[in-house]
Structure formats: structure tokens, C-alpha cells
Structure 1
Amino acid sequence: MYFLFSILYLSVLFSENEKSLPHYFTEEELINKSLIYSMSRDTEPPLSPVRNIAEFEPMQGVLIRYPFGISTSMIQEMAEDVIIYCLVSQSLQNSAYNSMNNAGVDMSKVEFITGSTDSYWTRDYGPWWVVDGNKNIGVVDFTYNRPRPNDNAAPYKVSDYLNTSYYATDVVHCGGNYMTDGYGISASSTLVYEENNMSNNQVNQNMLDYYGVHTYHTVEDPNNTYIDHIDCWGKFLSPQKLLIRSVSGTHPQYNEIEEVVSYFESTLNYYGEPWEIFRVYTPNNQPYTNSLILNNKVFVPIMNSSWDDDALDVYEQALPGYEILGYTGSWESTDALHCRTKGIPDLGMIQIFHNPLNDIYEPQIEGYNVLATIDDLSQMGLVYDDLKVFWKNNSSSEFMPIQMSICDIDIPDCYQSNIPPQQEDTNIQYFITAQDYSGRYERLPIAGYYDFSVVATQLFDSGDINMDNITNILDVVLIVNYVLGVGELDPYQIQLSDLNNDMIINILDVILIVNLILEN
């Protein structure tokens, strides 16, 4: 009875309230703060193993709300690539349509999810997504940490609209204070413990059971503001990369921010390696970390500040190949672009998991092994001929494909290929592609490439094709037979044969090796 009364009371308070409530608690909400716990829903957790989907994975859409918290020009840009899922009350749907249509938004890419909302912070109250043990994507809901029943109902509305599984835990939380790497490592400020009526261990157990989070980093919020949200100072850019704000040594929060950096420097990513930490300078508390990664684009809040360009440069350095887009808005240090948008994952995505290669310090005769697990959630089947690694070195103009094959080791859905061995001091860039029979084509990273350097000296000199430490007529015979198509060379021998480094073995290389022998 108390639960029903509370929801009815709150619904009367906030129904059809189409002016956004503030990010902070109103005075009335503070009085009724305890009613948050009456909004909770609790189901059995998804079938394990559970994986919480990260922001930087393939997205089919983005969730916003009308009246908007972002510009229609930004919506227009997003609609070029993904579906705009717009939460809107039925009475305002025509207004929402006209607003976007008049701004030139491709309305064939807009879908309306009708129902009242209390605010436009879809990040904070929007759905969190998981892949369950049956390899189905569904929503795992939480209790929104504001007494706003319309916002709190949004995840269920989205799940119902998209016809996905729906689960719920009674953990009180919000999306602005949560980030995950997609591999079971997540992070929040300690606000998540402070606002729950359960022990810290119980919170952690719920995060494990419902979201598959086995490592939950919780730190004191370093910003000393009312909001205590992690997206106001940090962001996972990938399973290996982390962005954290920086300030001058005279800034009042300098020590607290650097303590957070030191904490993450002492932790490891999923693959047991140190995080690659990038810093973005925020001298006047600019919300540069409050960005949205949406497939191959990154939407960054800018402030018409002299530091905007430097902030965009940091994103370009951290995410090479991504399109970095700066947008102005009614941003504040505690509320910006990320707070007002929420990605909707591709419900049938191809999952590609890979630990990028690090710099090579030892000679590799067989080349550099690229290993990935690839799985199609559409369950239509992978197109095996299209599982490839594309690579190039610093003397190449184009990426070259290498077919992937099933791994030698017993790992489900594991595929591998070898990038040919390279000369010392060579930089290599590469990415992985996959296609399935649903027509989906994915690549990892979604944009740009991974890169590593070959620091090690080769075991054998160029031209020593038979690797006997002598360059002579025997090596000439091997390369001539290969050019004529009557002999085979392994990848390392091909590298030793390519004396002019043009990625082609031909008569020019034969001439060079003959000259090399004559000079000796």
C-alpha cells in the first residue's frame, strides 16, 4: 500500500512536468527523498555469465528526451548514423517532430517512445544494457537516485519498445556516476555506497550478479561539488584507455584529482596491463570529460574557451581516426553533453574482443600474433572469409588484409592471424574486421587503428632468406623461385626478401640481393 501511495503521490507531483527538473534535488524532493526507495523494482538477475555493454561499443541509436537538453544541430549530426530514440509525452510529440524536422533532421531516423518524463538527463535514468548467458541483449534497470517516477520508468519503456528482456536490481544509482569497460571492470564515485540502504558488499554483489562487474573501482569524488558524478572528471575511452581531467597546481581540487589519477595508475585493466591515462586540462572546471562516444564519432562539450582546441586535440590523440566534434550548449561543470544522451547498443552486434599488441622488443620469426574472440549476437553466423586483420607499416600507403583462422588454443570463438615480421624501428598500424550473415560489418577499433612499434633487431639480415647468416647464391635461388611461382616463402622470409620495402617481391629485389652479394 505504501509503495502504491508513494508512486501515485510522486506521479501527481511530476506528471506532465515538461519543464526539466534540475540536476540537483529540489527542496520538495529533499523532503521526499526517502520515496526513492519505494520506486525500486527487483527481478531475478540475467542468466550468467553477464557482460555490461560499454559506451564505446557498436550503437544502433541514442536516447534523448523532448523538450531537448541538446541542440537540434547535434541531433541532426547523430541522425546521420544512428536512430534517434526520443522520449516524449504524447501531447508534445508533434512539437518534437516539428522541432527536429525544421532543423533538417532526417526524420526517417527518428522514433518516438511516448510517455511523460521529469527531466532530460537520459544518461542518469536511462537503461543499462547487458549481454546475458544466452547471448541476448537486455536491460538491467536500477532505481534512479531522484524521486522522479516518470524518469525512473524510462528503462522499462525503452525495453518494452525494443522488445528486449528486462531485469531490475534494487540498487540506487545513476548513469552519470557509472562507467564500464565492457569486460567486467566498472567505476563510480563512493556516492553509490552512500545512497544505498545496503552494505557496500551487497552493492558489489548486486553489481556482479546483475551486470557481471567483478572489479568495481569506487573512489571519493575529487571535484567537491553537489553531484559527485564520475563523468564530471573521468571517462573510459576503451578497455585500455582512461581520460581524467587535470588542473593547475593552484586549483583547490588539484590534490584530490591527482589522488584519483594515482589510484588508477595503481590498478590494471582487464588484460593485466596498466591503464593508458590521458589528461585533459580543465582550468575553469570545463566539462570536457562529459562527452559522448557514438560509434566512430565523439561529441565533446566545448565552452567557447581558449582551452577548447587543446581538449579536442587530447581526444584526437587518444582516439586516432575518430571524428571529434565539439558542441556548445547550456553546459556546466556538473552537467553537460554526456548527461543528456544515452547510447542504445546494436541489439545484434558482432562482438570483437582483442588486447592490442604492445611494442615488440624481441625478434618474432613467425610475425606478430593478432588474436581476437569474435561472436555474432545476431546468431546468423559469421562470414569466415571476412574475418581479417588489415595492417600497414610506416612505409605503406594502404592497409593490407590477412585472413584470420581458428586459434590453435582452445578458446571459444577465437581467431588469429600473424602480421609479417618487420625491420627494426618500424611502426605498424592495424585493425580487425568481421561480417555476419545478417549483413552487419564491424571493425575494431570502430574507427582508426591500433599501433605498435618493432623495437627489436631482426634475427637475420635482409637478403639472408634461408637464415644461415650468409647472403649468397642460395638466397638468390630462393627469391627467384618465389618470383617465378615455383617456390614458397614463409612470412619472415618474405620480409627478408623485400629489400626495397615496397611490400612486393619481384625482380627489383633480385637485383638488390645480387648487388648485395657482389659488394661483399
Structure 2
Amino acid sequence: MRYILFIFAIINIGIIQAKTNNTDELPIGLTEHEKNNINIIYEMGRETDPPIAPLRNIAEFERMSGVLIRYPLGISLEIVRELAEDIKVYCLVSSSQQNNAISSFENANVNMNNVEFILGSTDSYWIRDYGPWWVVDGSGDVCVVDFTYNRPRPNDNDAPFKVSEYLNAPYYSTDLVHCGGNYMTDGLGTAASSDLVYSENDETDQQINDLMESYYGIDTYHVLPDPNNTYIDHIDCWGKYLSPTKVLIREVPQNHPQYNEIEYVASYFSESLTEWGYPWEVHRVYTPNDQPYTNSLILNEKVLVPIMNSSWDGDAINAYELAMPGYEIIGVTGSWESTDALHCRVKGIPDLDMLQLFHNPLGDTIDSFINEGYMINAVIDDLSKTGIVDGSVKVFWKTEAEFEYDSTDLYLSLVPEEPNTYTGFLPPQLYGSKIKYFIQALDSSGRKEKHPMAGYHSFFALPTDICNSWSLGDVDNSGELNIIDVILLSELIVYGNSSGLCCDFVADINEDGELSIIDIVNLVSMVVNQ
């Protein structure tokens, strides 16, 4: 009887596998049939006029309301479960496979309240390569701006249009042949790809650059030779924008055959300027055996990094933690290859009504501005169009010696040339110190956003000279040492009645960084003996 049940179970498993395996599944590279029919690519375009300018291409590290995958899956059910913890999982699936997808997700304890299915056939699970690109247009609407997928796969090529219809997002398209794995943007008009984009299109390099500006708002397009020397030539196999100021580039030992080429692109980015006019902060992740550590997924406050059960996995996680302090870095396993990992198989869906915060982080050795403090500027715009809540725009800050963040308001600039710009100051520091800070805002739709989205920015603040004219012990800055200074110091110690930064500074008579009875004794002695 047990033997019969065992045979029956095997038959059932075979039936289930037959149902869930797509016999028409295509590889990441071109099949021989596709190579012989490559011209189909150039028949799949559906060019429209560009969106209304000015345009801003949304970056991976911005606020996402969902993530796009495809069934049958290219990722594990454990990863699907992780994704569905926080945001919507939009799953492209054919009608014939939908029930199988539902059963698989439910059996894996995926939060089905966060799963929605977009019906439509696909040819492969490399949804990064053919999935939608997103742009904020001149009207403040988030649009899909499509391209022609660089594989002769009409079903995959149709996916962005299906997503735009499902989400009721405006749809535009250029006939430019491209793919998402060979593209990254900083969200501020800069993007990068390998020169595959130039070789796969008939247009001149300049014409391609012009199309990128017209349809995506990209005015600085870094197009480089692929340093990996593989069949795929995708930039996500060796590089990744982590923020508008940080880029991650793979690193290999000197005896690696591609060492010189990889160091060239790392040097190229270190010598290139961000949108703010400063050199990129280049971070490296060690990939001695061509591990796909740059092929990660940034998803709001989390970063999912493909790991290989390698001795270098821990170093890769540490590299992300160093580059993105405060983010939750999660290592995930899968059927990864050096040219194909997590980033290739998942794609973020932005919050279509996101609260946008743009800020150029302060650099080290910043001087206090006319003794007012360290100037903070942020551009804040709510795509929900409900308005920024009055008094909600703040900068939270602390020194390394402090445990709790203090906050300071940022105020809307009245200068016509600075729309949506909020300005304020971090308080001046008497001593050189490292300051950690983040900016926060709230709009009337209930959205609260931070910059950075997780963690903090940090910089070394140079000391201010604002208190140089004050004399030690002269707590009221009257020019005299007397009993009033003793009384003020006593109240300062007992009640914390500070009259400002310089008051605290000159009250620390023994300059030990603390106010105590010893300072009172020393001040009384100074008053008596003057």
C-alpha cells in the first residue's frame, strides 16, 4: 500500500511540475532561432511622441510601492515571501498559469494580501531587461516610457504596456533598442550603460544620446566599453548607482584577466562628476571569482544581495553596509551566475504619488556659514499634489557623542528661482566633530519620506569661531566676571537654562566637556581673585 501511495505521489509531483514548467521558456542569451530572426526586434517598436518635458527618470533607489516579477519564477519562493512582507508584488502571469502561481505562493506562506497578478504571456523571467522604465513628466505624472527589448521576444516586449494599463499609468515609447540590465540612472538626469546600446541601434551615438534626453530627461549619458568581456555586456554585472552621489563597482585581484578593464571603469567614475558637480563616491565590492554581487536589488530601506555560499559573501555584505549605512542588507541565494542574478529577475514599481526629496549631502570639513551653522538645502515635491504639511520639513542631527537626534526646521525659500527649495542650518559646533543627519518631510496624503531613505548622511563639521570674543566664565557676556555669572552657571547646571552655544562654552571653566559643581567653585575663585 505504501509503495502504491509513493508511486501515486511521484505521479502527482510529475503532473505539478509539468504544469509549472513552461516548455517555451527562453534563455537569457539568444537561441539559434532568434539569431536567425534577429530582424524581429526592429519590428516590435511602437514609437510615440515623448512625454511632456522636463523629464526625470526615476532611479532604483527611490521609493517603490511594489516590485514586478514573472511566473514561472526566476527567483525562489523565499525571496517572493521576503518581497511581499513590505510592498506589493505584481506578478506577470499567463491565465493558464495563474492558479499554479497562486498555489505556489500560498504554499510558501507568501502574504497574498500583497500580491496582484497582471495577466499576460511572457517568454522569459528576465523582467529587468524587458520591464518598464519610469519617468516623472513635466506635469508631475509618473509615466511608463518604453523601449524596444533587445531580444526578438514579442511577449516580453509587450510587458511594459501591460503594466501601464494595469496601473493606469500614461504610456510612451521610443523605438530605441535597449534592455534594463544595461542601464542605470541617478534619478537626476545622469545615466550609464555599456556601449552595447550603441552597437545594437542603427542611429549614431549622438542620435541615441538625443533620444535618451528627449524621452528620459538624460542629459549626461556615460556609455563605456563593457569591462567583463562576456556575452551579455550588461552594466549591472559590474556596476550600480547606490544614490545620486555613490556608485558601486566590482573589484578583482590583479591577476584577473579583466583587472585593467575593471579598474578603468572605476577610475572613470571617480573622475566623473555627479549632478551636484562633485566627484562620484566610488565603492568597491570584491568579486575574485566573478561573483554577481553588484547584481543586487535596492528596495526602499532594504538591499537584497545575491550571495554564492562563498567565503567572500560576508565581505560583500560589509561593502554594502559601509556604502549604505542604516539600510537592511540581506543576502539571498538562488540559481545565480556571474552574468545573471537577482537584479536581472526583479524590477521595482515606483510609488506613483511619491514624496520626492532631493539633497546634495554635505561633504567633510564644512565651515559654519557666517557663524549661523551648516547650511542644509533640499528640494521637496509631492507627486500626490496634496501639499507639504506646514512645519513638517526638518533636519534631524546628532554628533557621534550623542545618542538622540535633535531637529531643526527647514523653511521654504522665497526666492522665485528656487521653487520647492527648503533651507535651514545645523547648529554651529564649537569643536570639530562628525555630524550625522537626515531630512524628513510629510505631505497631506499621509506620506512621510526621509533623505536618505534609511540611515543618515554624515560629514565632519569644522569648529565655529563665533565664541572667540567671549571670555571664560563670563556667562552673560557682559565683559565682567561677577556674582551674576555664578548665579547663571548654577541655574544652567541645576535647570539646564542655557542661553546658547557660547554661554555653555565659557561656562565650562575647567574645559572638561561637562558642567558641574567644580566649574562653580572655579568661577567663584575667579570672581574673588580678579
Q: Same fold (TM over 0.5)?
A: yes
| Distance in 2 (alpha carbons) for counterparts of 1:38 and 1:508 | 84
Determine the C-alpha separation between the residues in 2 that align with 1:188 and 1:90: 35
The 5 Å alignment of 1:237-276 reads 237-276=242-281
- The corresponding residue for 1:453 is 460
For residues 339-358 of structure 1, what are the structure 2 equivalents within 5 Å?
Answer: 339-358=344-363
Distance 2:381 2:200 in 1: 37
What does residue 448 of structure 2 align with?
441
Q: Which residue number in structure 1 is paired with residue 4 of structure 2?
A: none
Corresponding residue number in structure 2 for 1:310: 315
Change (3 A) 1:470 1:307: farther
Deviation for aligned residue 1:518 = 7.4
1:454 aligned partner, one-letter code: A
* Equivalent position to 1:431, from 435, 438, 442: 438
CA contact (8 A) 1:233 1:245 kept: yes
Contact 2:436 2:456 in 1 (8 A): yes
Amino acid in the other structure paired with 1:299: L
Displacement of 1:424 after TM fit? 2.3
Residues 57-81 of structure 1: CA distance to partner in whole angstroms, max 9, x if unpaired?
0000000000111111111111111
Map Cα deviations across residues 406-463 of structure 1 (whole Å, 9 max, x no partner).
Answer: 2354400111221111132311111111111111111111100001112446443576
Q: From 111, 118, 121, give the equivalent of 1:116.
A: 121
Q: Secondary structure at the match of 2:322?
A: helix
Change (3 A) 1:363 1:354: closer
Contact 1:363–1:459 under 8 Å retained in 2: no
**1:403 alignment counterpart:** 409
One-letter amino acid of the structure 1 residue matched with residue 351 of structure 2: D
Describe the SS at the equivalent of 1:397: coil
Native 8 Å contact 1:181 1:236 kept in 2: yes
* Alpha-carbon spacing, 1:508–1:127, altered in 2? closer, same or farther (3 Å): farther
Q: Would you say the 8 A contact 2:307–2:332 is kept in 1?
A: yes
- Paired with 2:77 and 2:510, the residues of 1 have a C-alpha distance of 53
Partner SS state of residue 386, structure 1: coil
TM-aligned CA distance change 1:281 to 1:490, over 3 Å: same
* Corresponding residue to 2:426 among 398, 401, 419: 419
TM-score scaled by length of structure 2: 0.88
2-side partners of 1:80 and 1:498: how far apart?
51
Q: 1: distance between equivalents of 2:30 and 2:529? A: 82
CA distance in 1, matches of 2:303, 2:48: 35
The CA RMSD over aligned residues, in Å, is 3.0
Question: Runs (4+) of structure 1 moved beyond 4 Å?
Answer: 16-19, 461-485, 487-520
Contact 1:296 1:447 in 2 (8 A): yes
Find the aligned partners of 1:409 and 1:227 in 2 and give their Cα distance: 49
1:203 maps to 208
Which residue pairs with 1:378 in the alignment?
384
Q: Match of 2:3?
A: none
Q: Could you say if the C-alpha distance between residues 424 and 98 of structure 1 is closer, same or farther in structure 2, counting changes exceeding 3 Å? A: same
Aligned to 1:140: 145
Q: Find the aligned partners of 1:499 and 1:399 in 2 and give their Cα distance.
A: 27
In the alignment, which residue of structure 2 is the partner of 1:91?
Answer: 96
Contact 2:58 2:136 (8 Å CA) reproduced = yes
8 Å CA contact retained: 2:355, 2:383: yes
Whether the 8 Å contact between 1:58 and 1:295 is mirrored in structure 2 is: yes
Contact 2:188–2:244 (Cα < 8 Å) also in 1 = yes
Q: Secondary structure at the match of 2:247?
A: strand
Matches of 1:512 and 1:130, distance apart in 2: 65
Given candidates 394, 397, 400, the residue that maps to 1:388 is 394
Q: Which moved more, 1:92-101 or 1:174-183?
A: 92-101
1:477-488 maps to which residues of 2 (within 5 A)? none
Q: Contact 1:126–1:155 at 8 Å: present in 2 too?
A: yes
Number of residue pairs aligned between Structure 1 and Structure 2 = 505
1:260-299 correspondence runs (5 A): 260-299=265-304
Amino acid at match of 1:23: I
**Equivalent residue, structure 2, for 1:13:** none
The answer as to whether partners of 1:303 and 1:328 remain within 8 angstroms in 2 is yes
| SS in structure 2 of the partner of residue 244 of structure 1 | strand
Structure 1 residue 517: Cα displacement: 6.8
Give percent identity, aligned residues only. 56
What amino acid sits opposite 2:56 in the alignment?
R
Say if 2:428 and 2:463, in contact at 8 Å, map to a contact too.
no
| Whole-Å separation in 2 of the counterparts to 1:502 and 1:417 | 31
Q: Are the aligned partners of 2:186 and 2:241 in contact in 1 as well (CA < 8 Å)?
A: yes
> Quick one: distance in 2 between partners of 1:356 and 1:390?
13
1:498–1:337: structure 2 CA closer, same or farther, 3 Å change rule? farther
Q: 1:282 to 1:470 in 2, by over 3 A?
A: farther
What residue ranges of structure 1 are gaps of 5+ in the alignment?
Answer: 1-15
* Cα pair 2:65 2:349 within 8 Å, conserved: yes
Equivalent residue letter for 2:283:
F
Q: Which residue of 1 aligns with 2:13?
A: none
Alignment of 1:155-174 (within 5 A): 155-174=160-179
Aligned 8 A contact 2:53 2:138 in 1: yes
Find the residue that maps to 1:116 and give its secondary structure: coil
State how far apart, in whole Å, the 1-side matches of 2:43 and 2:397 are. Answer: 55
Deviation by residue 1:298-326 (Cα, 9 ceiling, x = unmatched)? 00000000000000000000000000000
Structure 2 gap segments, 5+ residues each: 1-20
Offset from partner CA, 1:15-62 (integer Å, 9 cap, x none): x95653111000000001111010011111010000000000000000
Give distance in 2, aligned partners of 1:232 and 1:514.
69
Shift of 1:338: 0.2
Name the counterpart of 1:7: none
CA–CA separation in structure 2 for the residues paired with 1:253 and 1:199: 28
